[in-house]
Amino acid sequence: MPPSPWRKAVPNKTTAPTQEIAADRVLSLPYLAGVVDGVQFAGYASVYGQANPRLQEGKDEELFYWFAGEADYAARPTILWSNGGPGSSSFWGFFLENGPYELVETHDHPVLTPRKNAWNYYANYLIFEHPLSVTLSFQADDTDVPTNVEAGIQQLYQALLNFIAKHPEITKNPIILAGESYAGTYLPLLSKAILEGNKNSPDTALKLRATVLLDAWVNPMVQMAADTRYAFSHGLISEKQKQYLDRNFRRSQLSKINDAIQAISGAYMANIAQTGDPPFQPILDYLNRDDVREAIHAKKGIALTDSWSALISDLYAAHINDSYAGVVQDLLGAGLQIIIISGLNDAKDCNFLGTGDWLNRLKGNAAEQFGVAATIQWTSGDSQQVLGYIQDGGLLSWVKVLNAGHMAVRDQPQLVNLIMKMTGL
């Protein structure tokens, strides 16, 4: 386990309450060598409540969650992590990027090992499988599956409130929202829901500290327009190919331009220095085991076959290219810290050139402060190796990470240290 900055700052408190074990406590996990370290909770939180009232009678709808913290979790901030899609599983993060475990499939059985640089060593780490119909968040009724991202985020916000109601010991602690790709749409909307909910219901107010958007889908049309510029500047296509793509993939065709670049270049667009995604099938195999479902209090009987929800992808498709940069601008205006992170090897529609384009279009005091901020080196500790570059404008900051792609937190584990430092935690 790596040293955590919290170990010196926070006394080693035990769980609260100490006299009984919470019903959603995870006490053991199949094929984990040793006992479950720290404190973990897993189970389901309803999507219904004051922030998202039930519109009709029917079966309850619930989102699956998994929370991982240290023994002193009640004194720590909580990072809510989300992957994108839309409709992708956040088990990508949990098992393959920054969550507590790595999972490897052997000839005999899966092997679960603690991740060396897991984020739960630095703060509580929480995922929800959202929206309804994503992996373990089995929907009871198709009519309650959200038909648009705004409705889906309102359900997620309510599920978060309901989870915290189960664990009031963390109510007063800071929350950081962090996620990648389409989470650049999810998390600004969730941040907005939290801030509005805090005004409307002070008794259930959440202490939102910051929102971190990694290789994020925020202003799609602006971002996709930079795809050929990135590809040409990195040698993936020729100047004539760039001219052809720019001429033939415009407006309604712009969403197909990344696929065209990939077909020409043969590059792995999520990270041009790598060859493909890490395998997800071992995760599905593990989560389909009855003993695993029992250990994490998940519903049994339905096999998982994919890492995403085709239903959500189809329902959200009509508005997938809508811009939420205005929401980011409003959040900055409300005083919320926003940290943008870009892996410089990401050639997808979320590449750093397109990210810079939408950032430069923001208005307001925070955007002005960001615009005049100098770019400085981000270096490792003793070795002074350059890990990336930071443009820190106070409320709005941008970190560009060397040797990292779309899954920047997987490629550069030291990002967690930087995020904790930049948010004052």
Q: Following DSSP, what letter does each residue of 88-157 receive, concatenated? A: B-THHIIIIISSSEEEEE-SSSEEEEE-TT-GGGTSEEEEEE-STTSTT---S-GGGS-SSHHHHHHHHH
Is 226 inside any structural domain?
A: no
Query: Cβ(381)–Cβ(375) under 8 Å?
Result: no
pLDDT of amino acid 347 = 98
Short-list 92, 99, 68, 79, CA closest to 212: 79
Is 229 inside any structural domain?
A: no
CATH of the domain at 25: 3.40.50.1820
Can you read off the two tokens belonging to residue 5?
């900055």
Tens-digit pLDDT string for the chain (425 aa)? 444 433 333 333 334 443 478 999 999 999 998 889 999 999 999 999 999 998 777 778 999 999 999 999 999 999 999 999 999 999 999 999 999 999 988 878 889 999 999 999 999 999 999 999 999 999 988 789 999 999 999 999 999 999 999 999 999 999 999 999 999 999 999 999 999 999 999 988 999 999 999 999 999 999 999 999 999 999 999 999 999 999 999 888 999 999 999 999 999 999 999 999 999 999 999 999 999 999 999 999 999 999 999 999 999 999 999 999 999 999 999 999 999 999 999 999 999 999 999 999 999 999 999 999 999 999 997 778 999 999 999 999 999 999 999 999 999 999 999 999 999 98
- The tally of domains found in the chain comes to 1
How many C-beta neighbours within 10 Å does residue 421 have?
A: 10
Alpha helices (runs of H) in 342-422, residue ranges in sequence order: 352-360, 365-372, 408-411, 415-422
pLDDT of amino acid 105 = 81
Is 239 inside any structural domain?
A: no
Is 28 inside any structural domain?
A: yes
| Domain region containing 40 | 6-219+279-422
* Pairwise CA distance, residues 415 & 419, whole Å: 6
* Pairwise CA distance, residues 299 & 44, whole Å: 9
Short-list 315, 327, 317, 322, CA closest to 132: 315
Cα-based distances in Å from 409 to 202, 231, 344, 402: 34, 23, 12, 12
pLDDT of amino acid 250 = 86
Is 82 inside any structural domain?
A: yes
Query: Token match 């992957």: residue?
Result: 83
- Structure-derived torsion over alpha carbons of residues 145, 150, 151, 157, reported in degrees to the nearest 10: 110
Predicted TM-score (pTM) of this structure: 0.94
How many C-beta neighbours within 10 Å does residue 25 have?
A: 16
* Pairwise CA distance, residues 130 & 82, whole Å: 9
Long-range contacts (CB closer than 8 Å, 24 or more residues apart) made by 224-229 = 224/254, 224/255, 224/257, 224/258, 224/321, 224/349, 224/354, 225/254, 225/354, 225/357, 226/351, 226/353, 226/354, 226/357, 227/257, 227/258, 227/261, 227/347, 227/349, 227/351, 227/354, 228/257, 228/261, 229/353
Rounded to the nearest 5 degrees, what angle is found at the Cα of 373, between the Cα atoms of 401 and 194?
A: 75
Residue type present at position 49: G
Query: Cβ(350)–Cβ(408) under 8 Å?
Result: no
pLDDT of amino acid 17 = 41
Is 274 inside any structural domain?
A: no
How many C-beta neighbours within 10 Å does residue 325 have?
A: 19
Give just the sign of the alpha carbon dihedral 270, 271, 275, 281: negative
Q: Which residues contact 396 (CB under 8 A, 6 or more apart)?
A: 332, 337, 338, 340, 359, 362, 366, 367, 369, 370
Short-list 160, 137, 116, CA closest to 4: 116
* Pairwise CA distance, residues 184 & 323, whole Å: 10
Q: What are phi and psi of 258, to 5 degrees?
A: -65, -40
Query: Cβ(2)–Cβ(30) under 8 Å?
Result: no
Is 258 inside any structural domain?
A: no
pLDDT of amino acid 1 = 43
Which is it for strands 110-114 and 101-105: parallel, antiparallel or unpaired? antiparallel
Is 115 inside any structural domain?
A: yes
